[in-house]
Structure 1
Amino acid sequence: MKINIRLLFTALSLFSSIAYAQTTLKGTVIDENDEPLTGANVILSPTKGTTTDFDGNYSITNIIEGSYTVKVSFLGFKSQSKTIKISGQDTITVNFSLTESNQQLQAVEITGRLKKSYKNDVSFAATKTATAIKDIPQAVSYVTKEVFADQQAYTINDIVKNISGVSQFSYYDDFVLRGFRSGDFYINGLRVLDLFGPNQLLANFERVEVVKGPASATFGNASPGGIMNRVTKKPLTEDRKAINFTLGSFNTLRTTADFTGPINEKKTLLYRLNLAYENSDSFRNLQEFKSYMIAPSISFLPSDKTSVNFDLVISNYDGKLDRGQPIFGATAGTDLNSTPISFAIGQTNDFQKTDVVYSTLSLNHQFSDKLSFNTSYIKSLIEEDLQEHVTSNQFAIDGNGDPIPTLMGLNFSQRQKKTTADNITSYFVYKNNTKNLDHKIVVGFDYNQEKQPIGKAQSRAQGYLLQGGGTSSKLSELDNFLRDEDGNPIPNVPHFDLENPTYRIARTSDYIISDRTRNASKYYTYGFYIQDQINWNKFQFLLGGRQEYYVDIVDYEQLDEKTTTQNKFLPRLGIVYSATKDINVYGTYTESFEPQRASNINNPLAGGPFDPESAFMIETGAKGEFFNNRLAANIAVYYIQNNNILIDANNVENPDLLRQRGQEESKGFELDINGRILPNFSLTANYAYNETIISESDVVEEIGRQKENAPKHQGGFFGKYTFNRGQLDGIGLSLGTNFVSERNTFEETLKLPSYTIMDAGVSYNIDKFNIRFLIKNFFDKTHWVGGYRYTRLFPGAPRNYLLSVGYTF
Structure 2
Amino acid sequence: MLPLKTALAAAVAFVSAPALAQEQSAQARGEADEITVTGRAQRLYRVEQTTVGKSAEDPMNIPQAVQVINADLFADQGARDATDIYRNISGVTAFSYAGVTFRGFRQDQSFYDGQRGNPFIGFSVPQLFNIERVEVLKGPAGLFFGPGSPGGIINYVSKIPSDKTGLRAVITGGTYDRIGISAEATGPVDRQGVVTYRLGGFYESMDPYRRNTQNKSRIGDAGIAIKTNEGGKLTLQATLYDSTYQANRLRGVLVDDRGNFLTSIRWNANEKTDFLRLRSEAYQARYATAIGDRVTFDAGVRYFKATETQQYHEPRGLDPANPDLVRREFRDQIRPVDGLSFMANLTARVDLLGMEHKFQAGGDWYRETSILRSRILRAGVTSLSLSNPVYGSGAGDAARAASLPFTVTETRSRRKGAYLQDQISITDALLLVAGVRYDKFEDGVTTSTGATVSGRSRYADNDVTFRGGAVFKPRRDVSLYASWSQSFEPQAAADQNRDAGGPFAPITGNQLEGGVKTQLFGGRLQANAAAYRILRKNILQVDPTRSPVNGVDPLAPIGEVTSKGFEFDLTTDLTPNWVLLANYGYNDTRITGTVPGQAITNAVGDRFANAPKHQLGFWTRYQVPAIRAAFAFGGEHVSRRISLSGQTVKPYTVFDASITKGLGFAELLLRVDNLFDTVYAASGFSAQSGHFPGEPRTFLTELRLRF
Using structure 1 for the length normalisation, give the TM-score.
0.77
Does the 8 Å contact 1:262/1:271 carry over to 2? yes
Counterpart of 2:251 in structure 1 is 324
Does the 8 Å contact 2:443/2:459 carry over to 1? yes
Counterpart of 1:635 in structure 2 is 529
C-alpha deviation, 1:777, in angstroms: 0.8
Counterpart of 2:631 in structure 1 is 733
Q: Distance in 2 between matches of 1:576 and 1:51?
A: 44
C-alpha deviation, 1:229, in angstroms: 0.8
Q: Which amino acid aligns with 2:623?
A: T
Q: Distance in 1 between matches of 2:162 and 2:259?
A: 53
Number of matched pairs:
662
Q: Distance in 2 between matches of 1:296 and 1:206?
A: 14
For 1:313, which of 239, 253, 258 is the aligned residue? 239
SS of the residue corresponding to residue 337 of structure 1 reads coil
Q: Distance in 2 between matches of 1:608 and 1:190?
A: 29
Does the 8 Å contact 1:460/1:513 carry over to 2? no
| Stretch moving more, 663-672 or 234-243 | 234-243
Q: Distance in 1 between matches of 2:223 and 2:589?
A: 41
Q: Distance in 2 between matches of 1:722 and 1:612?
A: 52
Residues 41-80 of structure 1 mapped to structure 2, 5 A cutoff = 48=31, 50=33
C-alpha deviation, 1:457, in angstroms: 2.6
For 1:724, which of 605, 613, 625 is the aligned residue? 625
Structure 1 pair 243–56 and aligned structure 2 pair: CA distance change class (3 A): closer
Residues 264-413 of structure 1 mapped to structure 2, 5 A cutoff = 264-319=190-245, 320-327=247-254, 334=258, 336-392=260-316, 394-397=317-320, 405-413=323-331
C-alpha deviation, 1:426, in angstroms: 1.0
Does the 8 Å contact 1:461/1:513 carry over to 2? no
Q: Distance in 2 between matches of 1:296 and 1:622?
A: 40
C-alpha deviation, 1:367, in angstroms: 3.3
Residue 220, structure 1, aligned to residue 146, structure 2: yes
Q: Which amino acid aligns with 1:645?
A: I
Does the 8 Å contact 2:408/2:447 carry over to 1? no
Structure 1 pair 764–240 and aligned structure 2 pair: CA distance change class (3 A): same
Q: Distance in 2 between matches of 1:253 and 1:56?
A: 30
C-alpha deviation, 1:677, in angstroms: 4.1
C-alpha deviation, 1:307, in angstroms: 1.0
C-alpha deviation, 1:321, in angstroms: 3.8
Q: Which amino acid aligns with 1:191?
A: R
Counterpart of 1:549 in structure 2 is 440
C-alpha deviation, 1:502, in angstroms: 2.1
Structure 1 pair 562–52 and aligned structure 2 pair: CA distance change class (3 A): closer
SS of the residue corresponding to residue 161 of structure 1 reads helix
Counterpart of 1:774 in structure 2 is 671
Counterpart of 1:177 in structure 2 is 102
Does the 8 Å contact 2:35/2:664 carry over to 1? no
Q: Distance in 2 between matches of 1:621 and 1:44?
A: 50
Residue 803, structure 1, aligned to residue 704, structure 2: no
Residue 507, structure 1, aligned to residue 402, structure 2: no
Structure 1 pair 343–587 and aligned structure 2 pair: CA distance change class (3 A): same
Q: Distance in 2 between matches of 1:186 and 1:630?
A: 30
Does the 8 Å contact 2:93/2:101 carry over to 1? yes
Residue deviations 1:671-692, cap 9 Å, x none? 1223644443233211101111
Structure 1 pair 51–269 and aligned structure 2 pair: CA distance change class (3 A): farther
Q: Distance in 2 between matches of 1:586 and 1:344?
A: 49
Q: Which amino acid aligns with 1:669?
A: F
| Stretch moving more, 640-649 or 751-760 | 640-649
In structure 1, list runs of 5 or more residues that go unmatched.
1-42, 58-114, 399-403, 463-490
Q: Which has the larger radius of gyration?
A: 1
| Stretch moving more, 658-667 or 609-618 | 658-667
Counterpart of 1:516 in structure 2 is 406
Counterpart of 1:203 in structure 2 is 129
C-alpha deviation, 1:612, in angstroms: 2.1
For 2:59, which of 122, 127, 133 is the aligned residue? 133
Counterpart of 2:384 in structure 1 is 496
For 1:145, which of 25, 46, 71 is the aligned residue? 71
Does the 8 Å contact 1:384/1:418 carry over to 2? yes
Structure 1 pair 335–536 and aligned structure 2 pair: CA distance change class (3 A): closer
Q: Distance in 2 between matches of 1:181 and 1:288?
A: 28
C-alpha deviation, 1:379, in angstroms: 0.7
Structure 1 pair 676–659 and aligned structure 2 pair: CA distance change class (3 A): farther
C-alpha deviation, 1:609, in angstroms: 5.3
Does the 8 Å contact 2:36/2:662 carry over to 1? no
SS of the residue corresponding to residue 123 of structure 1 reads coil
Q: Which amino acid aligns with 1:563?
A: R
Q: Which amino acid aligns with 2:373?
A: A
Counterpart of 2:21 in structure 1 is none
Does the 8 Å contact 2:137/2:152 carry over to 1? yes
Structure 1 pair 782–425 and aligned structure 2 pair: CA distance change class (3 A): same
Counterpart of 2:539 in structure 1 is 645
C-alpha deviation, 1:262, in angstroms: 1.7
Using structure 2 for the length normalisation, give the TM-score.
0.88
Residue 696, structure 1, aligned to residue 593, structure 2: yes
C-alpha deviation, 1:712, in angstroms: 0.5
Counterpart of 1:672 in structure 2 is 569
SS of the residue corresponding to residue 500 of structure 1 reads coil
Residue deviations 1:515-540, cap 9 Å, x none? 23426442101112111122121111
Q: Distance in 1 between matches of 2:290 and 2:383?
A: 65
Counterpart of 1:121 in structure 2 is 48
Q: Which amino acid aligns with 2:365?
A: Y
Residue deviations 1:526-576, cap 9 Å, x none? 112111122121111221100100111234999997531111101011111
Counterpart of 2:560 in structure 1 is 663
C-alpha deviation, 1:117, in angstroms: 5.1
SS of the residue corresponding to residue 628 of structure 1 reads helix
Structure 1 pair 714–452 and aligned structure 2 pair: CA distance change class (3 A): closer
Counterpart of 1:577 in structure 2 is 472
Q: Distance in 1 between matches of 2:541 and 2:203?
A: 37
Counterpart of 2:515 in structure 1 is 621
Does the 8 Å contact 1:743/1:752 carry over to 2? yes
C-alpha deviation, 1:699, in angstroms: 4.0
Q: Distance in 1 between matches of 2:555 and 2:692?
A: 24
Structure 1 pair 603–493 and aligned structure 2 pair: CA distance change class (3 A): farther
Q: Distance in 2 between matches of 1:232 and 1:204?
A: 6
Q: Distance in 2 between matches of 1:52 and 1:498?
A: 50
Q: Distance in 2 between matches of 1:412 and 1:155?
A: 28
C-alpha deviation, 1:722, in angstroms: 0.8
Counterpart of 1:746 in structure 2 is 644
C-alpha deviation, 1:258, in angstroms: 2.5
Does the 8 Å contact 1:736/1:760 carry over to 2? yes
C-alpha deviation, 1:514, in angstroms: 3.7
C-alpha deviation, 1:153, in angstroms: 1.1
Does the 8 Å contact 2:167/2:186 carry over to 1? yes
Residue deviations 1:484-541, cap 9 Å, x none? xxxxxxx442223333322115212446964234264421011121111221211112
Q: Which amino acid aligns with 2:374?
A: Q
Q: Distance in 1 between matches of 2:332 and 2:38?
A: 59
C-alpha deviation, 1:661, in angstroms: 6.0
- Identity fraction in percent: 28
Residue 436, structure 1, aligned to residue 359, structure 2: no
In structure 2, list runs of 5 or more residues that go unmatched.
1-25
For 1:597, which of 492, 501, 504 is the aligned residue? 492
C-alpha deviation, 1:371, in angstroms: 3.2
SS of the residue corresponding to residue 254 of structure 2 reads coil
Does the 8 Å contact 1:173/1:195 carry over to 2? no
For 1:192, which of 108, 117, 123 is the aligned residue? 117
C-alpha deviation, 1:621, in angstroms: 0.5
For 1:540, which of 424, 431, 438 is the aligned residue? 431
C-alpha deviation, 1:304, in angstroms: 2.0
Superposition RMSD in Å: 2.9
Does the 8 Å contact 1:118/1:675 carry over to 2? no
